[in-house]
């Protein structure tokens, strides 16, 4: 039987990639499908939470009982998360947000030209960082998609983005990371505690992350 230990909690989850448009037919993106974030939303709902899922483009169906808001770009995702953040108790940021977007959008399809084409990119805002400055009671959980020095890089992101937990993801490991139904993650706590989890279904990995979230939500507010 699923525990209803998130009853009465409002949880905001982000999932999927972002699409950064270059012209009406082309965009910059990454390999995220939304599976990890949708699993978090579904499991949080099963555990009784009131869940809002902010999703980049994804072919997945919205989990039952979850409010889903579709967005396209990082800027759109930031805007929706900023609107919903004040009323939320926890944010789980599983989306793979594009760090860059084309510096300008061409209103018409770009024509084939010479041998080489240079696309200028500009920095997208760091959404987690922009939200952490607004943090009052919210527990903030980030994900870190890494291909090398996983713990060091994930730990740096936890500090830089002022997170309570970060879920480090070796996206080069077999059956883990983007687009598969399983994931092998390590949960890193602010305190320095490091919890490597075995290869699990994304639903089971989501449940383990939610166990840690429940503990943080129930802890006295000393952050
Ligand atoms: O969607 P799936 O196919 O199931 O794949 C799952 C996943 C691999 C996408 C997921 O498990 C995962 O690791 N998500 C985080 C991917 C990512 O963007 O990691 P990052 O290390 O680049 O970013 C670190 C954190 O900052 C993330 O929580 C990210 O959402 C956030 N971020 C990143 C860039 C940005 N401009 N703003 C952000 O808030």
Residue 108 maps to a domain: no
18-22, 147-151, 201-205, 219-223, range with the lowest pLDDT: 219-223
Asked whether residue 104 is assigned to any structural domain, the reply reads no
Per-residue tokens: 129: 């960082």
Task: Indicate whether 223 pLDDT > 60.
Answer: no
Total domain count, the chain: 1
CA–CA distance from 38 to each of 9, 164, 192, 211 (Å)? 17, 21, 27, 17
* Reported confidence tier of residue 63, pLDDT bands at 50, 70, 90: very high
Kindly report the three-state secondary structure assignment for every residue of 52-90.
EEEECCCCCCCCCCCEEEECCCHHHHHHHHHHHHHHCCE
Do the domain assignments include residue 109? Answer: no
pLDDT at position 109: 97
Annotated active-site residue in 30, 124, 169, 175:
30
Is 129 part of a structural domain of the chain? yes
Quickly count: other Cβ atoms within 10 Å of residue 191's Cβ. Answer: 7
> 71: number of CA atoms within 13 Å, CB side?
24
Q: Is residue 30 annotated as part of the catalytic site, yes or no?
A: yes
pLDDT (0 to 100) of residue 107:
96
Q: Tell me the whole-structure pTM to 2 decimals.
A: 0.97
CB-based pocket (< 6 A), ligand 1: 16, 32-36, 74, 93-97, 99, 124, 126-128, 142-145, 157, 161, 169, 171, 177-179
Q: Which of 56, 47, 53 is nearest to 16 (CA)?
A: 56
Residue 219, φ and ψ in degrees, nearest 5: -75, 150
Question: Mutate which of 33, 128, 153, 154 to test ligand 1's pocket (most atoms within 8 Å of Cβ)?
Answer: 128
Which residue segment(s) compose the domain that 197 sits in? 10-99+120-218
Q: Which ligand 1 atom minimizes the distance to the CA of 179?
A: 3
* ipTM confidence: 0.99
Residue 166: CB atoms within 10 Å: 28
């Amino acid at each position: 039987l699923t525990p209803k230990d998130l009853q009465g909690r409002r949880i905001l989850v982000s999932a999927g990639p972002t699409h950064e448009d270059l012209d009406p037919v082309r965009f910059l993106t990454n390999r995220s499908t939304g599976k990890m974030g949708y699993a978090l939303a579904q499991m949080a709902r099963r555990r009784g939470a009131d869940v809002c899922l902010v999703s980049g483009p994804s072919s997945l169906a919205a989990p039952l009982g979850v409010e889903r808001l579709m967005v396209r770009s990082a800027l759109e995702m930031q805007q929706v998360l900023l609107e919903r953040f004040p009323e939320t108790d926890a944010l789980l940021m599983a989306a793979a947000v594009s760090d860059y977007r084309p510096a300008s959008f061409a209103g018409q399809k770009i024509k084939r030209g010479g041998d080489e084409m240079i696309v200028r990119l500009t920095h997208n805002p760091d959404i987690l960082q922009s939200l952490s400055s607004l943090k009052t009671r919210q527990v903030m959980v980030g994900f870190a998609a890494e291909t090398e020095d996983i713990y060091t890089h994930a730990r740096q992101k936890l500090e830089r983005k002022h997170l309570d937990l970060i879920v480090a993801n070796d996206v080069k490991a077999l059956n883990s990371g983007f687009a598969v139904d399983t994931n092998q993650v390590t949960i890193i706590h602010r305190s320095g505690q490091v919890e490597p989890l075995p290869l699990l279904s994304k639903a089971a990995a989501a449940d383990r992350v939610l166990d840690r979230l429940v503990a943080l939500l129930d802890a006295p507010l000393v952050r």
